[in-house]
């Protein structure tokens, strides 16, 4: 075995101290082969970690075999360690040994130099080992301190108290502080959702960032009832109910004064109650039409639709693809006109000045269909319906579009052409649909490449052949860094296909119409498909080709 097949590995605490004294002399440390390192490390990034350690000239370390000293942990605050994905291991008189999961991230190294007054010496670890080390070194210690403040046993695997005890704990300052910090950090990290998932080992905290589930930490099992109950208090839920799902809503004020709306869902599971908190941040989610990513030609087409005196415009796609965001952007543009705009939603996500918004209340019988019947007596110019879910709502929407109103709504289909056949399947008469439908926009959200860790993307031949790209075309992706939570992506944008109904397409809207024929006719008439829209962004270096493959809709 040649020297190039092995690399320095720290195996004992004494070797960390030795590395601090002689950081450039890696020959003092034991060597490990790439094969043995990968076999001993269950993480997918083990091989990449080995290659990076050798490229940057720093030793590898298996964090599962070490426990950080209290002096080292005190050198870097817990929130900084979680954000940067680093773990302090040993502190000398003037130096600090720190494990990182990305030695090439200059922002992480600069932040370490800023927060620590010691000379930092690096070691490289895998992401999975880093996550476990942070949980063991920081999370458990913090949780144990909170448990002691609450009078609980930090080592208890479960806690069972009366409803009165749970309510008391939910209002205790340590619990309030923890949940406040969880939500605040989620907003600052641009998360769309907060997940608290019970397991046999504790309560997992995850953030959904740019459509990826990012593990944050694991709370001790004994704290789970108090933390879940605190969120129930925020959502005005029944604290004594643990067997049935519950929904709630609240608002949250950040330290900078910004307000964020919360939509809360609680479900009973085998290991306890699971919580999802949807964060509705106006600054992140409410956009103008100029921010949607429309081409100049499609922007003109959409402007013409918004100026129409009557007709129906639909946005379509899977849950979380930005349909409502597009409709909100249209409402923000149309409210500048001297017109009456009414909206019925489930729920109302963002309040827009100048638009009369109502919320579905099924318990009181106030459904989409009933609201629309009453809307027509309020002399509206524009009607927005949160979603066309059934035949009754579809028929009233079409009727409204035919009687002098512009109707905006959403539908769940994969393509724009599929929306037409879906409405026919719901029972809308073909001749009425021909006369009322103006356009359909099918869309997806794609994840933009993180500019801080952007590099050339390896692409397999099969993907190139399917997407029709040449062998010599170069594409990019993100390798993952502290700036993007190791995801390689940062923020999202929309890709779409805008099907405008012209005379040719109207002739195809007949009973038993085929979505494929409508799609082909629209494409021949100039419609750019979702796949083509995404491929254009990939060729511009904004998204990876793998992202195009993920959202393809042909």
Contacts of 14 (CB under 8 A, 6+ apart): none
Nearest to 275 by CA among 205, 209, 213, 195: 195
pLDDT at 292: 86
Largest pairwise CA distance in the chain: 84
Instruction: Say if CB 347 and CB 249 are below 8 A apart.
Output: yes
> How far apart are alpha carbons 442 and 444 in whole angstroms?
7
Helix (H, G, I), strand (E, B) or coil at 439: strand
> Distance of CA 75 to CAs 72, 113, 340, Å?
5, 11, 60
Which of 1-10, 297-306, 445-454 bottoms out in mean pLDDT, i.e. has the lowest? 1-10
Nearest to 327 by CA among 356, 289, 376: 289
Nearest to 264 by CA among 285, 250, 243: 250
pLDDT class of 61 with cuts at 50, 70, 90: very high
Helix (H, G, I), strand (E, B) or coil at 126: coil
The beta-strand segments (E) located in 116-211 are 119-124, 191-199, 202-209
CATH of domain 3-132: 3.30.300.160
Contacts of 311 (CB under 8 A, 6+ apart): 305, 401, 406, 407, 436, 437, 438
Residue with tokens 């599962």: 64
pLDDT at 194: 97
Which CATH class for the 150-280 domain? alpha beta
pLDDT at 105: 80
pLDDT at 87: 94
Burial tier of 512 (Cβ tally within 10 Å: 0-12, 13-18, 19+): exposed
pLDDT at 3 over 50: no
Identify the sign of the CA torsion 430, 433, 438, 443.
negative
Tokens of 273: 């109650």
pLDDT at 159: 67
Instruction: Say if CB 480 and CB 488 are below 8 A apart.
Output: yes
Strands 341-345 and 356-359: parallel
Task: State what percent of residues in the chain have pLDDT above 70.
Answer: 97
The beta-strand segments (E) located in 281-367 are 311-316, 341-345, 356-359
CATH of domain 286-445+492-530: 3.40.50.300
Domain ranges of the chain: 3-132, 150-280, 286-445+492-530
pLDDT at 2: 44
Nearest to 314 by CA among 425, 155, 422: 422
Q: pTM of the prediction?
A: 0.78
* pLDDT, tens only, 405-436: 999 999 999 999 999 999 999 999 999 999 99
What's the whole-number average pLDDT of the chain? 89
> How far apart are alpha carbons 247 and 462 in whole angstroms?
45
* pLDDT, tens only, 295-331: 999 999 999 999 999 999 999 999 888 899 999 999 9
> How far apart are alpha carbons 147 and 231 in whole angstroms?
17
With residue 496 as reference, give the H or E element that holds it.
Answer: strand 489-500
């Amino acid at each position: 075995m040649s020297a190039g097949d092995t690399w320095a590995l720290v195996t004992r605490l004494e070797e960390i101290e030795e590395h601090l004294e002689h950081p450039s002399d890696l020959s003092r440390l034991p060597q490990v082969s790439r094969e043995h390192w990968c076999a001993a490390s269950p993480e997918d990034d083990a091989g990449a970690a080995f290659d990076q350690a050798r490229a940057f000239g720093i030793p590898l370390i298996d964090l599962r075999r070490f426990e950080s000293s209290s002096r080292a942990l005190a050198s870097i605050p817990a929130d900084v360690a979680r954000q940067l994905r680093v773990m302090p291991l040993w502190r000398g008189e003037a130096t600090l040994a720190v494990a990182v999961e990305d030695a090439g991230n200059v922002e992480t190294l600069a932040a370490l130099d800023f927060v620590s007054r010691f000379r930092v010496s690096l070691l490289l670890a895998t992401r999975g080992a880093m996550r476990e080390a942070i949980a063991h070194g920081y999370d458990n210690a913090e949780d144990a301190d909170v448990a002691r403040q609450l009078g609980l046993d930090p080592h208890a695997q479960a806690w069972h108290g009366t409803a009165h005890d749970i309510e008391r704990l939910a209002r205790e300052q340590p619990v309030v502080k923890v949940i406040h910090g969880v939500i605040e950090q989620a907003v600052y990290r641009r998360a769309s959702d907060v997940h608290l998932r019970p397991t046999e080992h504790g309560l997992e905290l995850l953030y959904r960032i740019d459509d990826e589930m990012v593990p944050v930490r694991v709370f001790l099992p004994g704290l789970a009832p108090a933390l879940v109950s605190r969120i129930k208090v925020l959502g005005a839920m029944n604290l004594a109910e643990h067997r049935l799902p519950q929904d709630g809503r609240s608002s949250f004020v950040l330290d900078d004064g910004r307000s964020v709306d919360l939509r809360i869902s609680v479900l009973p599971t085998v290991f306890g109650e699971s919580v999802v908190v949807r964060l509705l941040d106006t600054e992140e989610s409410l956009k103008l039409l100029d921010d949607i990513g429309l081409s100049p030609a499609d922007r003109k087409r959409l402007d013409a639709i918004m100026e129409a005196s009557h007709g129906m415009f639909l946005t379509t796609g899977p849950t979380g693809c930005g349909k409502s965001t597009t409709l909100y952007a249209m409402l923000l543009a149309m409210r500048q006109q001297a017109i009456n705009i009414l909206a019925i939603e489930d729920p109302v996500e963002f309040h827009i000045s100048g638009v009369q918004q109502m919320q579905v209340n099924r318990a009181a019988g106030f459904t989409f269909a009933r609201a629309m019947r009453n809307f027509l007596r309020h002399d509206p110019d524009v009607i927005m319906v949160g979603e066309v879910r059934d035949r009754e709502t579809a028929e009233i929407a079409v009727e409204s579009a035919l009687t002098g109103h512009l109707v905006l709504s959403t539908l769940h289909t994969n393509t724009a052409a599929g929306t037409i056949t879906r409405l026919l399947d719901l029972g809308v008469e073909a001749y009425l649909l021909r006369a009322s439908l103006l356009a359909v926009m099918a869309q997806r959200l794609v994840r933009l490449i993180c500019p801080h860790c952007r590099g050339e993307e390896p692409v397999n031949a099969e993907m190139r052949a399917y997407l029709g790209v040449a062998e010599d075309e170069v594409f990019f992706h993100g390798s993952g860094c502290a700036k993007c939570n190791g995801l390689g992506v940062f923020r999202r944008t929309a890709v779409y296909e805008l099907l405008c109904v012209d005379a040719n397409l109207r002739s195809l809207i007949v009973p038993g119409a085929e979505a494929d024929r409508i799609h082909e006719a629209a494409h021949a008439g100039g419609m750019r498909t979702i796949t083509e829209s995404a491929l254009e962004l990939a060729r511009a270096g904004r998204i990876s080709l793998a992202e195009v493959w993920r959202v393809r809709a042909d």
